[in-house]
């Protein structure tokens, strides 16, 4: 009989402990819930930063290399930095410095008529032009900045350069204040095709 009474007391105590534990957990949950509600109310009452929304489409850019055709629906522009220099010698061999990085516009002032020989297609020069693969193309604008028309810049081909000009050009000479577009195209071997298109001052 005594054993049964002890068992009954034990179960009562266990039940009370369980009830107290559950009650404590409920109170803690209710307390946390109240704090969350209070924080939400404080947030809603506070002034929020204005968010500008429009219908423009956001997009990402994959980096410097793209491996599929790109459609520019809003047009595009291209170019880069400029390189300006002058020469006093009758002959000069171009180096990678005149063509490296983002250079697109070359402003050259010949103080005497100058023959510029395009640099040889060494590995260093190919790297500077950034046309390592067959068919890679890069363009430059070369301007004869001399105000004297007789001070010409005549282009000549260096080793490995296949220099060609369009049929409308009389020669490879660029007169003062005239300009030319040089298009460098990597050939199947290590050589580079250079297409020269001349422009004459119109004003």
pLDDT category of residue 115 using cuts at 50, 70 and 90: very high
Considering the domain architecture, whether residues 184 and 100 belong to the same structural domain is answered as yes
Average pLDDT, the chain: 80
Check whether 114 has a pLDDT greater than 90: yes
180: exposed, middle or buried (Cβ count in 10 Å: 0-12, 13-18, 19+): buried
Check whether 147 has a pLDDT greater than 50: yes
Considering the domain architecture, whether residues 17 and 103 belong to the same structural domain is answered as no
Residue 194 to residue 185: CA distance in whole angstroms: 6
Give the single-character DSSP code of 8.
H
Residue 160 to residue 154: CA distance in whole angstroms: 18
Considering the domain architecture, whether residues 40 and 86 belong to the same structural domain is answered as no
Number of structural domains the chain divides into: 2
Considering the domain architecture, whether residues 101 and 192 belong to the same structural domain is answered as yes
Comparing 54-58, 149-153, 192-196, the range with the smallest average pLDDT is 54-58
**Tell me: the pLDDT tens digits for 52-102?**
556 666 667 777 788 888 888 988 888 889 999 999 999 999 988 888 888
Considering the domain architecture, whether residues 85 and 37 belong to the same structural domain is answered as no
Considering the domain architecture, whether residues 93 and 2 belong to the same structural domain is answered as no
Considering the domain architecture, whether residues 92 and 185 belong to the same structural domain is answered as yes
Residue 180 to residue 194: CA distance in whole angstroms: 12
Structural contact between residues 179 and 143, judged by C-beta atoms closer than 8 angstroms: yes
State the DSSP string of 156-201.
E--TTEEEEE-TT--SSEE-TT-EEEEEEEE-SSS-EEEEEEEE--
Neighbours of 119 (CB within 10 A): 23
Average pLDDT over residues 107-123: 93
Give the single-character DSSP code of 143.
E
Residue 173 lies in a domain: yes
Q: Which residue would you say has higher pLDDT here, 101 or 104? A: 104
Considering the domain architecture, whether residues 14 and 87 belong to the same structural domain is answered as no
Considering the domain architecture, whether residues 188 and 115 belong to the same structural domain is answered as yes
How confident is the model at residue 26, as a pLDDT? 47
Cβ-based neighbours of 40, under 8 Å, separated by 6 or more: none
CATH number at residue 174: 2.60.120
Average pLDDT over residues 143-165: 94
How confident is the model at residue 54, as a pLDDT? 61
Check whether 5 has a pLDDT greater than 50: no
How confident is the model at residue 51, as a pLDDT? 57
Considering the domain architecture, whether residues 34 and 87 belong to the same structural domain is answered as no
Average pLDDT over residues 156-178: 88
Residue 142 lies in a domain: yes
**Tell me: the pLDDT tens digits for 171-182?**
889 999 999 999
Check whether 164 has a pLDDT greater than 90: yes
Q: Which residue would you say has higher pLDDT here, 117 or 54? A: 117
How confident is the model at residue 173, as a pLDDT? 92
**Which residue in 82, 195, 87, 184 sits closest to 136, CA to CA?**
184
Neighbours of 66 (CB within 10 A): 9
Average pLDDT over residues 178-194: 94
Residue 63 lies in a domain: no
How confident is the model at residue 2, as a pLDDT? 46
Residue 60 lies in a domain: no
- Which range marks the domain in which residue 157 is found? 81-199
């Amino acid at each position: 009989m005594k054993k049964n009474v002890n068992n009954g007391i034990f179960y009562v105590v266990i039940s009370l402990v369980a009830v107290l534990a559950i009650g404590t957990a409920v109170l803690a949950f209710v307390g946390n819930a109240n704090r969350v509600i209070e924080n939400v109310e404080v947030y809603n009452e506070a002034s929020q930063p204005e968010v500008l929304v429009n219908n423009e489409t956001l997009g990402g850019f994959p980096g410097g290399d793209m491996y599929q055709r790109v459609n520019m629906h809003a047009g595009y522009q291209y170019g880069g930095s400029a390189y300006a220099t002058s020469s006093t010698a009758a002959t000069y061999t171009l180096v990678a410095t005149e063509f490296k990085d983002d250079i697109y516009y070359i402003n050259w002032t010949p103080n005497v008529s100058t023959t510029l020989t395009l640099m040889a297609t060494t590995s260093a020069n190919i790297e500077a032009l950034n046309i390592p693969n067959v068919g890679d193309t890069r363009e430059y604008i070369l301007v004869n900045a001399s105000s004297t028309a007789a001070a010409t810049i005549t282009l000549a081909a260096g080793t490995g350069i296949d220099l060609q000009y369009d049929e409308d050009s009389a020669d490879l000479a660029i007169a003062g204040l005239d300009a030319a577009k040089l298009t460098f195209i990597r050939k199947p071997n290590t050589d580079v095709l250079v297409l020269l298109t001349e422009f004459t001052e119109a004003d």
